[in-house]
């Protein structure tokens, strides 16, 4: 049986990829599977207790139930919060997509399900020759697109969906995340995307006063995703029926 594994991308930076990825990890864990999260490239880290920490990386780790070394889940942790290709060059780091692929394979071997969060938008440069789109293509996973709901998001979402398709990757679903709580005609904008994106809407995360993986997951339905596991309680119920 194929393991659930997904690549989470977004229409821009700071639009809720980490919240959506954490919600996905939480939902998988609730199904009773051993789930691991990856953010292969993270830009923006601070030193705490002698170790570099990134908020997104820490949030993903908190939502998983499989603990793995940071060098596997985030092989490239960059200190400056800027475009990855610029920071990597400044820090003397060469981002190697094959290395990320090998790290992913080791993570996947240690868990029943894997969620990989990209960095920035879908086509963010990682080096002089590679982009996040190349990384997604290297991994070859079904893609989940997070749309930051704010003015201008319609074009960003449709262009991102086109870019995903151009790479030959399946868009497994998309999530609307309310970035601007004052956005006018929010429902109409969501409907406009729903009729134009050939992938299921997995849900709409409202502007949460205290965002968390569990609170975000409560607004989402991942059951249409490929290889989505049956929750453990449903398996138990089925077994009980069989015994009777």
Catalytic residue positions, numbered = 39
- Residue 38 β-bridge partners: 116
Smallest Cα–Cα separation from 201: which of 162, 145, 153?
145
Burial 62-101 (b: 16+ CB within 10 A, else e): ebbebebeeebbbbbbbbeeebbbebbeeeebebebeebe
d(CA 216, CA 220): 7
Alpha helices (H) in the chain, listed in sequence order:
17-30, 55-63, 70-73, 84-90, 97-109, 132-139, 153-166, 186-196, 213-217, 232-243
Identify whether the C-beta of residue 73 lies closer than 8 Å to the C-beta of residue 37: yes
Length of the chain counted residue by residue? 244
Complete DSSP assignment for 53-76:
E-HHHHHHHHH-SS---HHHH-SE
């Amino acid at each position: 049986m194929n393991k659930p594994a997904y690549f989470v991308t977004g229409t821009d930076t700071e639009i809720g990829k980490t919240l959506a990825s954490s919600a996905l990890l939480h939902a998988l864990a609730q199904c009773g599977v051993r789930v691991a999260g990856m953010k292969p490239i993270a830009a923006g880290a601070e030193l705490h207790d002698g170790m570099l920490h990134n908020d997104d990386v820490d949030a993903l780790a908190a939502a998983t139930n499989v603990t793995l070394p940071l060098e596997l889940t985030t092989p490239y942790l960059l200190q400056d919060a800027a475009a990855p290709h610029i920071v990597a060059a400044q820090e003397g780091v060469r981002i190697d997509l094959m290395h990320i692929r090998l790290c992913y394979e080791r993570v996947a071997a240690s868990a029943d399900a894997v969620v990989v969060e990209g960095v920035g938008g879908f086509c963010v440069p990682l080096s002089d020759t590679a982009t996040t789109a190349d990384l997604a293509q290297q991994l070859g996973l079904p893609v989940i697109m997070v749309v930051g709901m704010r003015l201008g998001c319609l074009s960003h979402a449709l262009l991102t969906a086109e870019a995903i398709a151009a790479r030959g990757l399946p868009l497994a679903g998309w999530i609307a995340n309310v970035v601007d709580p004052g956005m006018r005609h929010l429902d109409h904008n969501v409907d406009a995307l729903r009729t134009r994106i050939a992938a299921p809407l997995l849900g709409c995360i409202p502007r949460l006063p205290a965002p968390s993986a569990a609170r975000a997951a409560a607004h989402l339905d991942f059951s249409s995703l490929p290889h989505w596991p049956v929750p453990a309680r449903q398996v138990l119920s089925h077994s009980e029926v069989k015994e009777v």
